[in-house]
A and B are shown apart, each in its own frame.
Chain A
Amino acid sequence: MKTTKNNSVPIFIGKELGFKILNPKSLILICIFALGIGAACAQDSIQDQIQTLKDEIKSLKSEEQTHFMVRGFTQFGLEASDENINFNMTSFNPLLLWRQGDRFLFEGELEMEYMANQFRINLGYANASLIVSKGLVVRVGKFLIPFGTCVEKFHPSWINKFVTMPLGVGHDGIAPISDIGVEIRGGLQLGKSKMNYSLYAVNGPGIKDGMEEPDEAGMLSFENATDNNNNKAIGSRIGILPLSNSSLEIGFSGYYAMPGAEESPFMGDTLNEDLNYKDVTASLAAVDLSFVKVISPLKGILDIKGQYTLSNISDATYFNPEDTSRYTFTNNSMAYYAQLAYRPAMATNKVLQNLEVAGRYSVCNTPEGSLWHSKQSQIVLGLNYWIEWRTVIKINYQMTTIEREEMEEMPGMGSMTGTHSVADENMLFIHLAVGL
C-alpha cells in the first residue's frame, strides 16, 4: 500500500484494488454536507417527537380518558285492585357507567325494590364492552339477553309505555332476561338499509324438577348465577331496518339450551333415580317488529311494537311429590304481544303535545298437561303524560283473564276430575317513572 504527503495529489488506497478515493477537500465537504443533513433530520425528528408529546399531553388534558357517571331509573305509584289499594315503590335501579377512552365501557345496574315490607336488591346486569371495530362490539359479563327486543328496550321503566311488561316477558316469562356470558354485537349499514346482530353464549337456564315447587315441574328457570352443567346456551338476534329512515325494524331471534343437570335430581331416592333431565333440550324462537314514525297528517308520532315467542322443551317425565305420580306433557309455550301508542307531538297545544294514548294486548299460553298450565290474555289501556323526555306519569287500566284446568279429587269417589276455572284480574295503576 502506497501513500503520499502531497495533498494536491489524489490519495490512492488499495491501488491494487483499482478504485479511486476522493481528495480530502471533497471528503470534508461531503462530511459537512452529511452532518448538515443529519442535523436537519435529527431536528425534524426531535420536533416531531415534541409535537407528538404535546399532542398527547393535550389529549390527556382535554379528552376525558376516563369518565364515571350514574344514571338509572325509578318507578313508583298507586296500584288498585278489587282487593286493595296500595302505594308501591316498584323499582329503583341505579346504573353505573364507567368509560375508559372511546372504546371501553363498563355498565352495571342494581335492581332495588321495596314490596310487601321487604327490601330486595339484585344485580340487574354488570358487563364490560369493547368496541373492536366499526361494526363489532364484544361484551362480557352479565347482560340483558337480546332475545326479541322487549327485555332490552323496555327494561328502563321510563321507556316502557306501560307499568307492567307484556305477558310472557319478564321475571315470570317464557324467555330469558339476563345471563352471564360473552356476546358479540353491532350495527351495520347495508346500502340504504341497516342491520344489527347479536350472537352470544351464556350459562343458560335450568329446568325445574318439581322437588321444591311441584306446580312448576318442567318450567325453565332463567335466574341462575351458576351453570348446572357444562353446556352453554347459545342465541342470536338479527334485526333488519329496511327503510332508510330507520322507522321499521324486524328482528329474528333464536336460543338453544340444554337445561338439565348431569345428575338426576332424585339421587338417593331409589324409586325415582331413573328420572334424569340431562338430555332435555330447550329451543326458543321469536319474531319482533317495531314501527315508529312521525305521521304528519296526524300531527304526531305513531309507535307500533310487537313480538311473537315460541318455547319448545323436549319431552321428559316428571314426578309429583304431592301424589307420588309420574306424568309427562308436551312442553310447548307461546306468548305474543302487540302494542300501539300515539302522541300528538306536533299539536299546537302544549298539554296535548305531551299526552300519549297507548294500548297493548298480550297472550301467554303455557303447556297443557303441566301443573302450571294456563291461558292468559291481557288488555292494557294507558294514558301517559310526559313531564319531560324521561319523566312520565302513567295511568294504566289492566284487565287480565286467566284460564286454568285443575285436577281435583272427587269427594267420596277417590277419582280425579278436571275443573276449568276462569279468573279476571283488573288493576288500575297510576305511576311516575323517572329516568335518572
Chain B
Amino acid sequence: MKKITLTIAMIISVVTTAVFLQGCATSQAIADKSGAQLWGENCVRCHINPSPVDFNDEQWTTLSLHMRIRANLTQDETKKIFDFLKMSN
C-alpha cells in the first residue's frame, strides 16, 4: 500500500512539476537560438551531428519523433533542429 501511495505521489509530483515548468518562459538566449545552433549543441551530446542530406523530409519527421523521445529533447528544440535539417537537405 505504501508503495502504491509512493508511486502515485511521485507520478503526481512529476506531472505537476512538468505542467508548472511548461509555464516558465523560455529564456531569451535559448529562444533566440537557430535550428543550426541547436543541432550543433544537442546531437553531438551522443553522436556526431547528422548530415541533413542523408534523409528526406518525411524521414526526418519520423526521426524527429524518435529523437525527441530518445534524447528527451524539448518541443521547441525538436522543431527548430528538424526544420533546419529539412531546410538543408
Say yes or no: A192 contacts B11, CB within 8 Å: no
Type the 1/0 row for B59-75, where 1 means its CB is closer than 8 Å to any CB of A.
10111011011111111
Determine if B87 is an interface residue (Cβ-Cβ < 8 Å).
Answer: no
Q: Does A428 contact B (CB under 8 A)?
A: no
> In the complex, how many residue pairs between chain A and chain B have their CB atoms under 8 Å apart?
126
B89 interfacial contact with A, CB 8 Å? no
Q: Which residue of A lies closest to B21 (CB)?
A: A188
Nearest A residue to B43 via CB reads: A389
B1 within 8 Å of A (CB atoms): no
Inter-chain contact B74/A187, CB cutoff 8 Å: yes
Which residues on the A side are within 8 Å of B3 (C-beta)?
231, 234, 256
Partner among B65, B72, B74 whose Cβ is within 8 Å of the Cβ of A185: B72
Instruction: Find out whether the CB atom of A292 lies under 8 angstroms from the CB atom of B70.
Output: no
Q: Is B77 an interface residue (CB 8 A)?
A: yes
Whether the pair A64, B58 counts as a contact (CB closer than 8 A) is yes
Report the minimum CB–CB distance from B77 to chain A (whole Å): 7
Q: How many A residues have CB within 8 A of the partner chain?
A: 56
B68 CB, nearest partner CB in chain A, Å: 7
Tell me if A137 is interfacial: C-beta within 8 Å of chain B. Answer: yes
Q: Answer yes or no: A88 CB below 8 A from chain B CBs.
A: no
Q: Does B88 contact A (CB under 8 A)?
A: no
A236 vs B17: C-alpha distance when bound (angstroms) = 14
Residue A191 interfacial (CB < 8 Å): yes
Given known pairs A99-B61, A244-B29, the reply for A105 and B74 (CB within 8 Å) is: no
Looking at chain B's contact residues, is the secondary structure mostly helix, strand, loop, or mixed?
Answer: helix
B-side contacts of A292, CB under 8 Å: 44-45
Cα–Cα distance between A195 and B11 once the two chains are bound (Å): 17
What residues of B have a CB within 8 angstroms of the CB of A171 in the complex?
A: none
Closest beta carbon of chain A to B44's beta carbon, Å: 6
Q: In the complex the two chains form, is B75's CB within 8 Å of A184's CB?
A: no
Chain B residues with CB below 8 A from A330, complex form: none
Q: Is the CB of B47 within 8 A of A97?
A: no
With A and B bound together, what is the CA distance between A67 and B61 in angstroms?
Answer: 9
**Bound form: Cα–Cα A30–B58 in Å:** 56
Query: Bound complex: CA of A19 vs CA of B42, how far in Å?
Result: 76
Closest residue of chain B to A183 (Cβ to Cβ) is B69
Q: Is B7 part of the binding interface, using a Cβ–Cβ cutoff of 8 Å?
A: yes
| Contact between A188 and B47, CB atoms less than 8 A apart | no
Beta-carbon contact of A389 and B48 below 8 Å = yes
Range for the number of chain B residues in contact with chain A: 35 or more
Contact A105 B65 (CB under 8 A): yes
A203 within 8 A of B: no
A239 proximity list for chain B (CB < 8 A): 72
A-facing mask of B24-40, CB < 8 A → 1, else 0?
Answer: 10110110000000000
Contact B27 A188 (CB under 8 A): no
Chain A residue with the shortest CB-CB distance to B38: A246
B69: which of A134, A158, A185, A234 is its contact (CB, 8 Å)?
A185
Contacts A247-B41, A290-B45; A192 near B30 (Cβ below 8 A):
yes
Scan A283-317; emit 1 where CB is below 8 A from any B CB, else 0: 00000001010100000010000000000000000
> How far is A253 from B24 in the complex, measured between Cα atoms in Å?
25
Q: A184-B15, A244-B29 are in contact. Are A135 and B41 (CB under 8 A)?
A: no
Q: Are A236 and B74 in contact (CB under 8 A)?
A: no
Expressed in whole angstroms, the Cα–Cα distance for A138 and B49 within the complex equals 27
In this assembly, does A139 line the interface, its C-beta being within 8 Å of a C-beta of chain B?
Answer: yes
Complex interface: chain A residues within 8 A of B66 (CB): 97, 105, 107
Interface mask (A376-394 → B, CB under 8 Å = 1, otherwise 0): 0000000000101110000
Interface flags for B1-26 (1: CB within 8 Å of A; 0: not) read 00100110011001101110110101
Return the contact of A389 from the options B29, B42, B50, B76 (Cβ within 8 A): B50
| Docked-complex contact A191 and B61, CB < 8 angstroms | no
Chain B CB within 8 A of A201 CB:
yes
Contact flags (1/0) for A175-193 with B, using CB distance below 8 Å?
0000000001111111110
B interface vs A, CB < 8 Å?
3, 6-7, 10-11, 14-15, 17-19, 21-22, 24, 26-27, 29-30, 41-42, 44-51, 54, 58-59, 61-63, 65-66, 68-77
The 3 A-B residue pairs with the shortest CB-CB distance in the complex, in nearest-first order? A196-B72, A187-B72, A389-B48
